[in-house]
Amino acid sequence: MQISGTTKLLGLIGTPVGHSRSPQMYNYCFQKFNQDFVYLAFDVALEDVGKAVQAIKTLNIRGANVTMPLKNAVIPFLDHVSMAAQAIGAVNTIVNEGGVLTGHNTDGVGYTLNLKSGGVAVKGKKMTLIGAGGAASAIMTQCALEGIREISVFNIKDGFWPRAKANLEAVRKAVPHIKLALYDLSDKELLKEEVRSSDILSNATRVGMAPHDNISIADGMEDMLHSGLAVADTVYNPVETKFLMQARSAGCRIFDGLGMLLFQGAEAYRLYTGAMMPVDEIRNVLYR
Ligand code: NAD
């Protein structure tokens, strides 16, 4: 692929960005499918967020992925914000349509596409969701929009608790018929009960992430895992977490956080280019 006068620019904004695999993933696809785009990572500090968003318009950049600490901070500078991104309160993808910038959040879609790739649709199902941070909000919102029947959210009583209550209210407002409840994660018996009557169990906490990858959110409660359960982790480092190993041993269908990460990238790729990203190939080639 030749970079020419017509090549369109895409990018990642946030800080730090040096470790990101996004440039590798997107540029691999552009070369493979001969698409006239190039993708770069831009290290942008929080205080420069407005200038960075303005530059997307000024330079007619096709769009940008947004990472920490800018996911909330970009919102006031955008022309439109998608319903999911509004409910989650965070934008991870900006698309520039002729100078009009729209903010999206593809994390939730990435989660449901990952499940769908393994034959699990959320419509009509019950989920137990552990966590109430950014990833959990995205999952809860998207699953609600896709017609999930019930979500039981469990979180520790930390700083995320008030935010969790507000998130539940926001989702209830958007999807009034959904059954939602917030419980204290320290109530292990209630957690087991909810998991036993669920179709899907998701970990959206940081528990199990390297270097603390010898622990799992299900430690001491492995007996709640049943073969009818689809179990998903948002953690992608390591790809196969202790939680997923426990679920596999119990006969559950498992969905790793790398799948969610790749599918959220694929959704952004679709928004930028209109084309589908070959997720399985990217997984094999770049993340073997
Ligand atoms: P966050 O900081 O917004 O939320 C952290 C959550 O973990 C909160 O609910 C918090 O209460 C909970 N928590 C923290 N310590 C805990 C403990 N000891 N026990 C129980 N709960 C605890 O983080 P986030 O952005 O939501 O990320 C959560 C995880 O999801 C991270 O591992 C992140 O890498 C991953 N993630 C993955 C994707 C993906 O595409 N796969 C996308 C976003 C986030």
Is the model's pLDDT at 153 over the cut of 90? yes
H/E segment holding residue 238: none
Rounded percentage of the chain residues whose pLDDT exceeds 90: 91
Rounded percentage of the chain residues whose pLDDT exceeds 70: 100
* Summary mean pLDDT of the chain: 95
Q: In Å, what is the CA distance from 210 to each residue of 1, 160, 257, 285?
A: 37, 21, 13, 23
Tell me the per-residue pLDDT of 84-93, one tens digit each, with 9 for 90 and over.
898 888 999 9
Atom of ligand 1 nearest to the CA of 261: 40
Q: What was the pLDDT predicted at 275?
A: 94
Q: Give residue 238's identity as a one-letter amino acid code.
A: P
Pocket test for ligand 1, best of 163, 234, 254 (most atoms within 8 A of CB): 234
Minimum mean pLDDT range among 50-59, 102-111, 168-177, 251-260: 168-177
Cβ–ligand 1 contact at 235 (below 6 Å): yes
Cβ–ligand 1 contact at 107 (below 6 Å): yes
Is the model's pLDDT at 288 over the cut of 80? no
Is the model's pLDDT at 1 over the cut of 80? no
Q: In Å, what is the CA distance from 164 to each residue of 91, 141, 157, 246?
A: 18, 12, 10, 27
Q: In Å, what is the CA distance from 199 to each residue of 72, 184, 205?
A: 32, 20, 19
Tell me the per-residue pLDDT of 136-149, one tens digit each, with 9 for 90 and over.
999 999 999 999 99
From CA 71, how far away is CA 78, in angstroms rounded? 12
Cβ–ligand 1 contact at 90 (below 6 Å): no
Q: In Å, what is the CA distance from 58 to each residue of 79, 95, 96, 223, 252?
A: 14, 14, 11, 57, 50
Tell me the per-residue pLDDT of 155-198, one tens digit each, with 9 for 90 and over.
999 999 998 999 999 899 989 999 999 999 999 999 999 999 99
Pocket test for ligand 1, best of 158, 205, 221, 282 (most atoms within 8 A of CB): 205
Which are the catalytic amino acids? 71
Tell me the per-residue pLDDT of 191-218, one tens digit each, with 9 for 90 and over.
999 999 999 999 999 999 999 999 999 9
Q: In Å, what is the CA distance from 184 to each residue of 14, 188, 221, 222, 266?
A: 33, 9, 15, 19, 34
Tell me the per-residue pLDDT of 126-135, one tens digit each, with 9 for 90 and over.
999 999 988 9
Q: In Å, what is the CA distance from 29 to each residue of 32, 35, 265, 269, 273?
A: 5, 8, 11, 9, 11
Q: What was the pLDDT predicted at 251?
A: 97
Q: What was the pLDDT predicted at 216?
A: 98
28-32 contact pairs (CB < 8 A, 24+): 28/282, 28/285, 28/286, 29/269, 29/277, 29/278, 29/282, 30/1, 31/1, 32/278
Is the model's pLDDT at 287 over the cut of 80? no
Is the model's pLDDT at 83 over the cut of 90? no
Q: Which residues make Cβ contacts (< 8 Å) with residue 250, sequence separation at least 6?
A: 222, 225, 226, 227, 229
Residue identifier of the C-alpha nearest atom 8 of ligand 1: 133
Distance 209 CA to ligand 1 centre (A): 9
pTM: predicted TM-score of the whole model, two decimal places: 0.93
CB of 195 within 8 A of CB of 166? no
Q: What was the pLDDT predicted at 218?
A: 97
Q: What was the pLDDT predicted at 9?
A: 98
Is the model's pLDDT at 30 over the cut of 80? yes
